[in-house]
Structures are given as structure tokens and as C-alpha cells.
Structure 1
Amino acid sequence: MQRHFVEARYRLPMRRMVWLGCLLMLGVGALMTLVWLLGPSMDELGLAATVGIMLLSLGCMGLARAKQWDWVVRCFVWGNWLLTLLLVWRAGGFYSPAVIAFPAWLMVTVWVQGLRPALLMLVASVAVLGVFWWSFPVLSLSPAMQTTAALLSLVHVPGMMALVLMISLQARISLGRRVQKGQAMLATLEASQNELRKFYRAVEQNPESIVITDTELKVVYVNEAFLARSGYVREQVLGQSTELVSTMGLDQSHRQRALKQLAAGSVWRGEMTNRASNGEALRESVLVAPIRTPQGEVVNYVELKRDLSERVLAERHIHDLVYLDSLTGLPNRHSLTLHLRELIHTQQGDCHGLLLLDVDRFSVFNDVHGMQHSDELVQLMGARLVEVLPDDTWIARIAAAEFAIVFASLHPHAEGVEEQLSQYAHTLKKALQKPFSLNSWVETELVSCCMGGVVLEPASRGGNDALRFASVALHEAKQKGPGSLVLFEPRMAQDVRRRVRIAKDLHNGIPQGELRMYLQTQADARGRCVGAEVLVRWQHPKWGLVSPAEFIPVAEESELIVRLGDWVLRQACLLLATPALAGRGLRLSVNVSAFQFGHEDFMSSLEQVLQETGANPHQLTLEITEGAVVRDLDQARTRIEALTRMGIESSLDDFGTGYSSMYSLQRLPIHELKIDQSFVSGSHRSEKDAALVEAMLLMARRLQLRVVAEGVELSEQALQLIQWNPDIVLQGMLLGKPLPEQQWLAQVLGVDQGGVQHAAEKT
């Protein structure tokens, strides 16, 4: 393969040599032809040979034009050798001066064709010369000298030709070795250049900035990444100190330490904020390393610079996600907790104030207008707070439409802080009277907020407690109504803890049998018992008997009210199924909460209880408040009609207290009105209350509805009610207080407690 490579390298010079030889032989042929034509005598055969040299040269040049180089070489060498043979023969044969042409063509053959053609030409030339030697003897010498001269010539001429061949071959071989060595050096040099180009491209196209300096820290090279990132032109930085164009972010003390480290031959690493040509800050990680000669001498330094802008942006984004609200750009709940903790622990002396603010009916606004408008309102709300509050006020968004406002160092005493919180609350209410103009729609929106505040004393435990106390105050404000302000009091936290404990203990107490059923008698005008209202009490293992006014509102805040209502219904149906009530036709009235009445499983659960207990549905009355009706009037009407088909009567409880009582009477197929005790208690002494109760009774009679008056405590009240409506059913302390189930059965109905209990268990 190496030989072919070398021959390929020879090919171009040999072609050039043959081309020049053709031009030379063309000129030689032309001169020889001119000699023949101008000479005293002319030989036609000799003239033909010289003309043949010219034609042969022209033919070879034509073949060269056609890129037929193999034929060019053959024709040029062997054609001219044949023509030389003709000229030697015409010039006198072996002893002609033209014989010198044979060694010349032998040398040409060695160079342009190689060893084998040269040996062939040597053999052919010797043979031809032998023929010429035999044919043309030496005539001018004596016979003895002719023989000697002929032999000497025969030995000398081939010997000279062999010498020419040997020297030419040796020169060709030596030249070939030199060429091969040169080509090897060129190949090595080219490979080295390729490696250098590769490393240059790697450095030049590296995405990180690379700066090379001399030992005096003058820039001698920068790559494209450095120029693109810094905005410099290469001519601006070459020859400049790195202190001016590359590492200007190092202050003098750090630079001196870096120079000392580099002088010791070590690598230096660090981060700094450099500057682009336009002054823009570039946060970079820089590594400076020495470049040494094989002898260990430092001749250059290289700076490798990594752009940290993306990392800085990522860190900033992470910081924003952790500490800022993405919608408003204000601090979030986590930031608020940290700020409160720092404020309480680091600042001594004056007390601070925390105010929580929540937009009233925001969930309704969100349902009506959608999330996009709600987000826009929250953003405008945050901007409004920033606008109206002092600059040193700390504002955070901690929930959907809930904001926290921290006032630092308001007053030395808690009373003064409360007064200032009230003033700030008044300022905020006044600021919120200005409507918000949303960009996404033309209308404006008026906003009111409930606010809860707490005083932060330097000795308090921490930000979590402060935020919790403020949340308790905000909850109290929401209970009072829109636009309310409540400042935290210690009893609020106790109330909240008790409510949480009630919810937890009630959740465990229902399945553990801690509930007790109580009954309060309902009687007609003659004092006969016609039924009772089922009430529930809770026998807490530690607190004793807990009033329903305390645990039922807690249960109504969760699904506990459904479990509680299911327990009461089942106990009432179990009692209805006993002979004590089933045989006497007494009715039991059971309160059903709004949440329980609207629950999807209410009807199926009621049917299952009736089926399992065997209670007569015609003896069961469900008392439904107007709150359950107003939520979904169509659903309420559908369910009351279904209850009627089952034989269960419906009673509109607390009649007269709701704003839609008359509308409910018009739309709902109810069977009973239960007049609220607030009207009954004043009917005997207040003409207005008496007129209202009388009107209710008259309306009920015209609508053919049964009426139950609760809260009857005095005989005067009972006599007046009976006078207005002889069919009225009375309930209250006048007829008896609520009693436990067994006691009520024994006292009111005269039923043996053991027998009733046995019958209930059997049922």
C-alpha cells in the first residue's frame, strides 16, 4: 500500500516530465529537419526519421490532452527509441556518434517507466548494437586493430549503458526513499495539523468562555463564546489586562490572593460578577490554570469561565416560589410565618399588630364570574392594600382572597396597638368603598372584607400562634357578618379548642353509645299526650351531659350532623315500633338538619331504617327548617312529596323566623306548622306578638295545616292559644321538660321501663 502511495505521489511529476520531454523532442525534431533541409545533401530516410520525431511528439501531446497517460509514456519512450534506432543506422551504425542516444533513453525509461521497462530496453539496445557492430566493421584500422577495437567497443558501450542504468536506478531509489520519508513527514505534519485544528475548533466553538493570557495576564486569545457573552470585539481585548476585560469582578484583596496562588503554580477557582461591554452584570464561575512547557516553565494562563446566569435565574425562581405569591407578587404564608418569628424574637420593646383581611362572599364571586376575574380581583386587592397602607407595612397573601398585614412597633402597650389596628381597619374599609374596575370587563365591583386582628408582644411564643389567633378572630368576624372587625381575645382560642375537642369526641362518641334520646311531650287542648319531639343529649365521659346548643352547631360544620341525624331517626323509629307507642297511635317529631335533608342518601337511608325497625311511617313527623327548603326548593318539594307517599308527614319548623315562610307555604306540600317560641313567649303580653300568632293560626286553619306551638311555659299562653285555635298542639315547659326516653315513657305514659326496654331490644 505504501508503494502504491509513493507511486501515486510520483505520478504528477512524471507526467510533467513526459510533457516537457514531448515539447523538447518536438523542438529537437524541428531542428534536425531544418538541418536536413538546409544541408548540402539530403537523405530521405533520415528526413523521414526527424519528421517522425515531430509527429510522435505531437501525437503524445494529443494523448496527454485526452488523459491517456499510460499510452503517452509508452509512445514517448519506445517511439523515440525506435526513431533513434533508425537515425543511428543511417548515421553509420555502431560507431556513429548517435549511439549516445541509447544511454539517454535508457535513463529516461528508468525515470518514467521503472526497472522492468529499463531492463527490457537495455537488452533490446544491446542486441541492436550487436547487430550494428556486426554489420558495420571498423575500416580505417589494420585487421588486428579492427578486431581489438571492435571487441573493446562491444564491451565498453554496453558497460556504459549498464552503468547509466545502475546509477539511474540508485538515484531513483534514493529519491524514492527521500520522497517516502518526506511524504511520511508530511502525513505526520498533516495529522498534527488536523489535531491542532480539532483542538482549535474545540476551543473556539466551546460554549463556555475561554481566555488565554501571557505570564503578565495580558490577553493573547479569546474564543467566540467570550466575545458573544461580553459584547467585546476581539481587537478590543487582545493585549489588555484581564483586570479590565475579563475578571473585573474581583476586588483588590481577592485578586492579590489569586495572583499569589497562581504564582505558586496552583489552579485558582472562584465566582464573581463581571461586566459586559455595555455594563450588564455577568455572574460567572472562573477557573484559572497555568500552561507549562515540557520543562515545567509557566508560559501562559488559561481562564475557563462558566455562565451562571441560568443558575441565578433558577435560584431566584425557586426563591420566588418559596417566599412569594405567584399571583400578586406579595409574600406568601411561609414568608409571613418567618417574618412574624423574626419580628417577635429580634425586636424588643414595642408591641406589633397583625391584621387578617378576607374578602366577603369571594366564593360566590368566583362561582359567578369565574377564576380569571377572581384572580384579577385578588391582584387589584393586593395593589389597593399596597397603595393605601404606609410604606413600612408588611403585606402578604396567604389564601384565596385572604391577606395578612403586619404593623411593626405600633405602641408600647397592647391597648394602644388595638386602638391603632381599629384605625387601620377603618382606613381599609374606607379605601374599599372605592369600586374595583376590572380590565376584563366593563362593570365595577364593590368589595367588603371581614378583618381579624391580634396584638403581637415581644414575649409571645412565635409567629404560628399569632397567625392562629388572628385566624380565630377572623372566623369570629365572619360569624358576625360582612365588613366586621374582631380583635382576638383569649377566650376565643379556648372556644376554638373546645369546638375542636367536641368534634373529635363526638366523632368517637356516636359509635360508642354516648348519645341519649330525650322526649318532650306534645299535648292537645285537653292536655292529652298526642306525641313528643325527639331530642338528643350527649353524655360525655368527662364533661357529663353536654347541651345540644353546644355540640349540634359543631356537628353542622361537618358530616357529623348526618351521622347524628341518622342515629336520632333510628332511635325514634325503634321507639315507634314498640307497643307503648305503636298501640296508642302517638306521633314522634324528629328534627332534620338542612345538610342531612339535602344529602343524596337521605331517602334511601330513611327507607332502610323504617324497614329494619318496622316503625309505622304514619306516626313519624319530620321537622324541616326553612334553611333546608331555601337551598333547593325544587328538591325540597320533590322529597316532601316522596315522604308523603311513604306516609311520613312534614313540619315547617321555626315558622315565622324565615324570610320565605309564606313562599314556602305556597310551594311545599307540608302538613304542619311549628310556631317558633319567640312569638309564643310574648303572645300573652304583647299585642304585636299576639296579632302575629293569631294570624298564623288563622292562616293554618284556612290551609288545613296542623299547628304546634313550642315554648309554652305559662297557662295564660296556653289558654290564649287554645282560644284562637282549639285544635292546636302545645309543647313546652308547662307540659313538662325534656326527659330521657325510659323516664318519659314511665312518667308520661305510665309504661314499665323494663318492659319498654325489653320490647325495644326485641324489635
Structure 2
Amino acid sequence: MSFESVLNESEFSAIILENRSAYEQDLIEFNELLQADYLFLGVKKAHSISVLIGLSHNSSIPQMEYELKGSPCESVLITGPCGYESDVCVHFSEDQTLKALNAEGYLGAGLFNEKLRDIGVLVAVFKTPKKDISEWLQVFSLQAKLFSTQFQKDFFATKTAHNLSLIDEISRMSHTGSWEFYPETEKLIWSPETYRIHDLPIDSEINIQKALDFIAPDYLAELTFAFENLRYKQCPYDIQCQIIDSSSSVRWVRASGKAELYKNGAVKRLFGAFEDITEYKTALILSADRAKKIQSILNNINDAVFSIDTRGTITHCNDVALKMFGYTRGELLAQSVEVLMPEPYASNHAFYMRNYMETGVGKIIGVGRQLPAKRKNGDIFQMELSLSESSDLGEKGFIGVIRDISERIEAQDTIYNLAYTDPVTHLRNQQWFHQRFKDLMLRASMNQEYIHILLLDIDNMAQINTRFGFGNGNYAIRKVAEQLLFVIGHDYEIFKYGGDSFVVLSKKTYRKEDLHKFDASLVESALLSPRHFDIVINSVKWSLTASLGSAIFNPQGQSFESIINVIEQAVKRAKKSAPFGLCHISEDGFKEFDRYLDIKSKLEQAIESDELSIVLQPQVTHDGTVSSFEALVRWYSKELGPVSPGEFIPIAEESYAICEIGDIVLRKTLNVMSNFVKAGLNTTIAINISARQIVMPDFINSLLSRVNQFGIPPHRLMLELTETALVVDIELVKETMLELAKFGFRFSIDDFGTGYSSLAYLKVLPISELKIDKYFVDDIGKDFDGKAAQIVDAILEMAKALNVTCIAEGVETVEQLNYLKGKGCERFQGYYFSRPEPEAYWAELKQNPTLP
């Protein structure tokens, strides 16, 4: 809500006094830092300042008032914040209040409203000179701004509360509530009156499905169709319908809805109103009761009415019947009713009539039935027929009432399609897939057979939506769906799954002995063909990419949820090989996923129970001298036994757990280094810093706090960053590295050559070391056309160009060592020298030990 009125002096006073204890506490907390003898918060009047809250050495003093003229507060309100180190009474000799307080130092700043007009002051008085008054002036001014902001917040909160109360009262009087729906988050919001209309506690959890559950069955289709039409076509609606509230009372409501759009035409929100019109409708019904006979006739003529005799001849029909079937009255009267029936009903009608007249037993007499009917032009439509016996002057006959229900059936089909069909691609949606998949799982479980399921996720749809808008994004999804539908073949069916994903499910199930005949790669390669993802939008060709997860499994012993989790996890792994990454999971993959869940669930417990430890692997020079160590984390689980870092580190990187592990490694490493220093071992220890960890807001302060706690010089710690960490937020990482470098920290780029770092950034980052990844060192000396050696040579040359040290990881053979030495590599690390060992193993080492 917006207000023309602004915070003035009287409202300012009311807010201060209403929240006196809170503001007084704020002043006390601020004065713990400032150490003023007096601290005042006052409101401006015509010629004076009225002190609303005052402190003397953190004790409250009574309200008081003093003249503005000739006081420093007058200067504050005219020129802005000011401070006086001493002799403030000399500067303002007319200010009797300052003299009474024996003031020497003074700080003052204005308090202002949202129009930046001063309406009060914040004043601090010191009985002794305040030598650092200029340093405190900016802080004092900032505190005044914080108080001003809080006053404005409290003012608007009060105003808003008053206005909301007024709106709620108006809603109560008019029995009209409101609703809002945000399609992007599927969030539905009701006003208090809307809750009252539905007889629900205010702020009860509500969503679209729960809201629709209140609609009376006779109106559910109409309102659902109107809402979907509003959501996807932005067509407003205004409908009268019935609801059944939480106490099972039936109410009449008038429901309306409109759409608010973004500038690009996408739906921002849907909103509307609920008006309780039960009293109005009740009055109409009472009025209708007074004319029951007339209303009965009117109800009858809404349907086609026929009279026929015992031979099946039409003796009478109303105007609706003529319009419904397309005949004139002369064309129908005296004709057999069979003219209104399609085959085989027309040919069998005479037999049914004769049988009823002889036995008195009929299948449709007195029972409403849905049957096909035929118009004059030959069109067949569905009718609802109600047939009853009649007697006219003692002669038996029949009256048939016919209702054309073709539109109702069409609406039901529409609702069905809305429920089970994706509106963009017109494929069966996720709800339909769930039903179909569960049925297939049951069938396969009973027969000990296997199912093939694939989940395809488009990688870069966000770029399409951002560049071309959601309308064109939907067009791209639809085109991809058409291509995929064309290639999956008759043995598979495809479903829309999520915003930009598709599930492909085998229609058949396969026996275990037949799996060797089944080639899953055929459909996998067909789905990942790049040509399916080339889309032309606004004459611009755009190439999408996709990732595919594929699984063949026996569903026996597996839950629906676990299978979905496995296939979604497969897609995540496939994305690591993007573009067009594929991850195929066999039956063993489900065991691997169970292992993944087990590790994930126990990792947090491992952190809390201190199951993580570190080991040290030495880094040596040409002559085998240990120059430094790398700290590596290890986990021995009480339940799982030893867990490889290759297993738990990627899982930890999915969440904040990697930061907690990084903090544990840092703490334990600094403790080891402290012990080394005490033992006289002068060395450096390198630790790995994750991408999540280095971009944390408190990383710098936390790291400095840790090294200060253990008394370790920063240059004794080498911080290893992977190239992946550099590209998370390169500017933020660069800023963090440069700041830490000022304190003496050094940096190493780990796994160099396997990531995506820019050489331009390597040139400006404070890097001390490049580490050649084991992936390249392993292939030195092997028959790979010398490519690995060429890459190693290039990294060494780059290290020289950057004037940084180069260290090779994973050195395991003398051939590798000699090659690296010959190319000028300065330091080495690997099993050739030593495996990673715990601190105790290295505790007895002397200064700069040499490894054999």
C-alpha cells in the first residue's frame, strides 16, 4: 500500500513512546560502544527539542525540553551531523542545558522521515573531552540513520495494520474475499474473508487442488475449465457456483478471475474475488418456489420432449426436440421413433417394444440412460434419455425426455486432458506416467521381468527462455517433443516430465535370459541425436543439448520412489559429460545408488561425531628432501568402515557439508602444523579449498581467526584451489585470493589442465604453484602418441612463464620422475616417495628430512 502522508513529529513521538523499551535498549547497546555520559533521543518542536528518551550512564532520566536557539542541535538541523571534541559550552555559550550537564564533548545527528525532513535529533554529551570525536562522527551519523529507518518501518507497519484492518472490515461487511495465485511457484494466497467463506481457520495451508475440492460437483468442471483458460489463455471469468464449506454447508459464491502479465507477456499472477451470494440466491430460490408450476414447465422445455404410442410412433414433440434433431414438426409427427436412432438400435427397437408390451419388463423404462442419437443430417451425438409410461384417456403411451450431453462429454474430455496431458507438448504428463509406470512395475514384478526407463533433460532451456521468452521456449520444447515422438518407435512411449524433461518408458517387459538380445543403445543414441535439438526461432538457429539417464532393472524389491531417484541421479551424472551426456545404469547401479544414499545419510553424523581425520603426503624436491606436505581427509565410519574420499567428497559437494569438512581439515591441519613447529620441523602444509567454501561471506575472517588461534604464520599454509573453484564466481574468488595474499597466504592451482580456467585470470591471480594432475603423469612413457608428455611440457612452460613453482602429482615410477626432472619440474608428490600417512608417522622427522 502507498501513503501520501509521511511521518511527522507527532507520529514520531507516538512511535517512540509506544516502543519506548525497545528504543531505550537500542540506546543502551549503542552507548556500550560510545561511552557517552548522556545520550538523548528527542523530537523537534517549533522552537525546542523535547527529549523522549534520555540516558545518563545507561540509566533512564525523565523527559525534558530545551530551547533550540543557540544550541548545537540547531546547527545539526540546519547543516547536518556535527561533533565537538571539547569546549562545546564555549562554542554555544547561550545553551544553558549544556552548562547544567557540564558538557565538554558533543555529538549530534538529525533523525528524518521518508521525505528526508529532519523531525528529531540524536545527541551524545561527554563530560570530558572526546579526543576521537571525528572518528565517531560518521558512526554516530550512521546510527541516527538506522534509528530513522526503524522509525519509518514502525510507522508504516502501524499504518499498514490500520488499513488492513479497515479492508478486512469492509470484506466482512460485503462478504467478499480475494485470492492470488503465482504460477511460477504454484503458491495460492487467500484473504481472511475468503477463509471465512470456506469456514476455514485463517492462514490454513491452501493450494489449487484444495481450493477446487470445495467446489460443488455440479460446478467443478465449469470452474476448472475457467481457471485453466485464465491460466493458459489469460481469459477472465465471472461465474456463479456452489461450494461446500468445511462444515459441509452449501454456499453460493460469485467467483471471478483475471491475469496480470509481465512485459514479455508471461503470466505474473492470477487474482480475483470470492463473493458470498448465498442470501441473494436463497431469495431467488424462494421466489422460484412461488412459481413452481411455471418453473417446472420451463425446466421441461430445456430438453427435447417426445410422446410416442405403443407402436413407437411419434405423437408429439416440443420445439427443443425440433431444434435438437433438425426436423420440422411435419417431418417428425406420425413417424416411427426409429428415425432418431442410429444402427443397430433402430433395427432392434421394434423387438424391444414388443417384448415390453408382452412382459412388462423393460431395461430403460423409468431408468435414465446414455445412448447415441441421430440427427436429420446423419450426425451422431450422445443423449441422456429418460423414458416413462403415460396414460391419456386410458390409452397407454410413453414420454421421453432427451438431453443433448455432447457438450458435457466434451468438457469432461477437456478436463481429463487438462489433468493428464501436458498443455505445451500435448504428450501425456507426469501424472499419467506415474500411473502407467506403477502398472508396468506390478506386471514386471509378478513375472520376474525387466523394464527399460529413460529420462532425458534439456540442458540449456534457460538460455532460450531468457533470450526469446517463454512463448518461444514452449515452442522449442514442443518441437523437440515432436522429434522424440518420431524416433522412439512402437516399443516405447514418451511422457512430459517436469519443465524441460521427458520420460521414455518401454511398453514391453523383458525376461532376464532375453536381455542379451536387447540393445538399449539403439534408443539411447536415437534420443541423443543432436539433430533433434536444432530449433529455428525468429529466423535464428539455436542448438539445444540434452543429458540422458537410462536404467534397466527388475522392479521387484524396488519402490517407485527409489527408481525415480535413481534415474534422476543418472541424469545428474550424465550432465557432467554434457553436452549430450549419457549415464546408463544396470542392476548394479541400484546397489550403487543405495550406497550413495547410505553415505549421504551418515556423512552428517560422521562430521558431528568427529569420524574424519587427516593424513599427510610429502612433497619432495629433486634430491628427495621433504619440502612440504599435502593434508588429505580420510573417513573411517563406525558403520560403513573406511569410505573413500572419491565416494564421499562428491556427495559432500552437493551441500554445505563440504564447507564443514573443509573447516575440520583446516582445524586439524593447523593443529598438526602447531605440533610440527614445536618439534622444530619447518615445513609447509597444503590444504584443499572447495568451490563452495571459498565464496562463503565469512571465509576470510574465519581463516584468519583459525591461523591466529593456532599461532601459525599464513605463509606456512598453501591453499589449493581446483580450476572448478575458479570458475564458480571468478570475480569473487579473485577478490578473496588477493585479500588473503595481503596477509601472506599462498595459493596453488590443483589438477591443472583438467578444468576450465581462463589463462587471462591465471595471469592476475596471486598463484604460487601449479600442480600437474595425476591424469597426465600416469601416461608419461606409455604409447599414447606422446600427447600426455606434450601436455606436461606445456604446463611446465606455462609455470615458468607465470614465474610459479610446478609440482607433479601421482609420481609412481622412476621413469616418470626422471622425465619430470629433465623437463625442469621442481617438486614431486606420489607413491614413489610415500603414501599418505597420519601425523604420528611424521612426528619423529628431523628438519628437512630426505626420503629414500
The interval holding the TM-score normalised by the smaller chain is 0.5 to 0.7
Distance 1:441 1:207, change over 3 A: farther
Contact 1:337–1:464 under 8 Å retained in 2: no
* Equivalent in the alignment of 1:745: 843
Secondary structure (helix, strand or coil) at the match of 1:267 reads coil
For 2:307, which of 202, 213, 216 is the aligned residue?
213
For 1:356, which of 454, 460, 476 is the aligned residue?
454
* Whole-Å separation in 1 of the counterparts to 2:602 and 2:804: 41
Report the Cα offset of residue 589 of structure 1.
1.5
**Structure 2 residue 481 is matched with structure 1 residue 382:** yes
For 2:739, which of 642, 660, 665 is the aligned residue?
642
Moved more, 458-467 or 739-748: 458-467
**Structure 2 residue 724 is matched with structure 1 residue 627:** yes
Contact 2:676–2:682 under 8 Å retained in 1: no
Distance 1:704 1:464, change over 3 A: closer
For 2:501, which of 401, 422, 425 is the aligned residue?
401
The one-letter amino acid of 2:297's match is V
For 1:273, which of 340, 350, 372 is the aligned residue?
372
Secondary structure (helix, strand or coil) at the match of 1:510 reads helix
Secondary structure (helix, strand or coil) at the match of 1:739 reads coil
* Whole-Å separation in 2 of the counterparts to 1:442 and 1:529: 63
Distance 1:634 1:463, change over 3 A: closer
Whose Rg is larger?
A: 1
* Whole-Å separation in 2 of the counterparts to 1:236 and 1:566: 93
Contact 2:448–2:556 under 8 Å retained in 1: no
- The normalised TM-score by structure 1 is 0.59
Distance 1:196 1:573, change over 3 A: closer
Contact 1:358–1:451 under 8 Å retained in 2: yes
* Whole-Å separation in 2 of the counterparts to 1:467 and 1:221: 62
* Whole-Å separation in 2 of the counterparts to 1:642 and 1:582: 31
Distance 1:593 1:322, change over 3 A: same
**Structure 2 residue 611 is matched with structure 1 residue 536:** no
* Equivalent in the alignment of 2:27: none
Distance 1:384 1:417, change over 3 A: farther
Distance 1:325 1:258, change over 3 A: farther
Secondary structure (helix, strand or coil) at the match of 2:692 reads helix
The one-letter amino acid of 1:737's match is R
The size of the alignment, in residue pairs, is: 550
**Structure 2 residue 531 is matched with structure 1 residue 433:** yes
* Equivalent in the alignment of 1:95: none
* Equivalent in the alignment of 2:471: 372
* Whole-Å separation in 2 of the counterparts to 1:492 and 1:651: 36
- Measured on the aligned residues, the alpha-carbon RMSD in Å equals 4.8
Contact 1:396–1:404 under 8 Å retained in 2: yes
For 1:594, which of 688, 691, 712 is the aligned residue?
691
Higher relative contact order (CA 8 A, sep 6+): 1
The one-letter amino acid of 1:666's match is K
Contact 1:433–1:447 under 8 Å retained in 2: no
Unaligned stretches of 5+ residues in structure 2 = 1-288
* Whole-Å separation in 1 of the counterparts to 2:789 and 2:422: 58
- The normalised TM-score by structure 2 is 0.54
Contact 2:302–2:320 under 8 Å retained in 1: yes
Report the Cα offset of residue 548 of structure 1.
0.9
Distance 1:442 1:516, change over 3 A: same
The one-letter amino acid of 1:594's match is A
Deviations 1:433-478 (A, max 9, x none): 377454x421234456555555578999898888777667666655
Contact 1:340–1:462 under 8 Å retained in 2: no
Unaligned stretches of 5+ residues in structure 1 = 1-194, 751-763
For 1:442, which of 539, 544, 550 is the aligned residue?
539
* Whole-Å separation in 1 of the counterparts to 2:795 and 2:585: 43
**Structure 2 residue 834 is matched with structure 1 residue 736:** yes
The one-letter amino acid of 2:302's match is E
The one-letter amino acid of 2:479's match is L
Deviations 1:211-259 (A, max 9, x none): 1525546555544544444444444444545454489979648777887
* Whole-Å separation in 1 of the counterparts to 2:524 and 2:403: 52
* Equivalent in the alignment of 1:30: none
The one-letter amino acid of 2:749's match is L
Contact 2:682–2:847 under 8 Å retained in 1: no
Distance 1:691 1:357, change over 3 A: closer
For 1:287, which of 377, 380, 386 is the aligned residue?
386
* Whole-Å separation in 2 of the counterparts to 1:613 and 1:227: 98
Deviations 1:612-671 (A, max 9, x none): 666543432211111121333322211211222343222111224445463332132223
Secondary structure (helix, strand or coil) at the match of 2:732 reads helix
* Whole-Å separation in 1 of the counterparts to 2:514 and 2:493: 19
For 1:326, which of 411, 423, 427 is the aligned residue?
423
* Whole-Å separation in 2 of the counterparts to 1:196 and 1:648: 93
Matches within 5 A, 1:498-517: 498-517=595-614
Report the Cα offset of residue 537 of structure 1.
0.6
Higher helix share: 1
Secondary structure (helix, strand or coil) at the match of 1:570 reads helix
Matches within 5 A, 1:576-725: 576=673, 580=677, 586-600=683-697, 602-603=699-700, 605-606=702-703, 609=706, 616-658=713-755, 660=757, 662-679=759-776, 696-697=795-796, 699-700=798-799, 703-713=802-812
Deviations 1:506-548 (A, max 9, x none): 1322112221122223345565554422211111113322221
**Structure 2 residue 665 is matched with structure 1 residue 565:** no
* Whole-Å separation in 2 of the counterparts to 1:618 and 1:535: 19
* Whole-Å separation in 2 of the counterparts to 1:626 and 1:524: 25
Q: Percent identity?
A: 26
Secondary structure (helix, strand or coil) at the match of 2:642 reads strand
The one-letter amino acid of 2:471's match is Q
